[in-house]
């Protein structure tokens, strides 16, 4: 499949799902909603994961795109770390923690796979037309 728009990227689709899960978890817990600092941090990290895939794609250079995919991957890890705070404060259940944590892990794995693929394209010699 040819990727023509960032919306075609599977990792972006999965990061969009991560954003939805994070926002839904916050909406479902009044106590969570009141923890403004944590809410801003975890929402920001989730949105950053999604946005960096789109931004990197727009750079039109595999080398630059890879840098943005690493940022997206780091943001997904940040979501995972902040989930522990939400769990420890009993803002979310263990089941919801696992669901969102696993979604962040999926995004991270997909970014890693994409990075590996793009790196393999960088090391190929230019093919004549």
Assigned domain for 1 exists: no
Count of domains in the chain? Answer: 1
| Residue 127 domain-assigned (yes or no) | no
Q: Is residue 25 part of a domain?
A: yes
Residue 5 lies in a domain: no
Higher pLDDT, 2 or 44: 44
Does the global pTM surpass 0.85?
A: yes
Contacts of 53 (CB under 8 A, 6+ apart): 6, 9, 11, 12, 15, 68, 69, 72, 111
- Residue 17: which domain range? 10-121
pLDDT at 129: 40
How far apart (Å, rounded) are the C-alpha atoms in residues 75 and 48?
6
Does residue 69 lie within any of the structural domains?
yes
User: Is residue 91 assigned to a domain?
Assistant: yes
**Mean pLDDT for the stretch of residues 72-77:** 98
Is residue 3 situated within a structural domain? no
Query: Radius of gyration (Cα) for the chain, nearest Å?
Result: 16
């Amino acid at each position: 499949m040819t990727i023509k728009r960032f919306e075609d990227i599977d990792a972006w689709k999965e990061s969009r799902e991560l954003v939805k899960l994070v926002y839904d978890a916050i909406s479902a817990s009044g106590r969570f909603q009141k923890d403004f600092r944590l809410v801003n941090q975890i929402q920001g990290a989730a949105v950053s994961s999604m946005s960096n895939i789109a931004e990197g794609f727009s750079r039109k250079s595999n080398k630059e795109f890879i840098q943005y995919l690493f940022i997206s991957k780091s943001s997904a890890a940040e979501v995972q770390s902040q989930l522990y705070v939400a769990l420890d404060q009993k803002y979310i259940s263990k089941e919801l923690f696992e669901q969102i944590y696993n979604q962040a892990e999926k995004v991270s794995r997909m970014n890693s796979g994409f990075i590996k693929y793009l790196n393999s394209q960088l090391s190929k010699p230019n093919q004549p037309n």
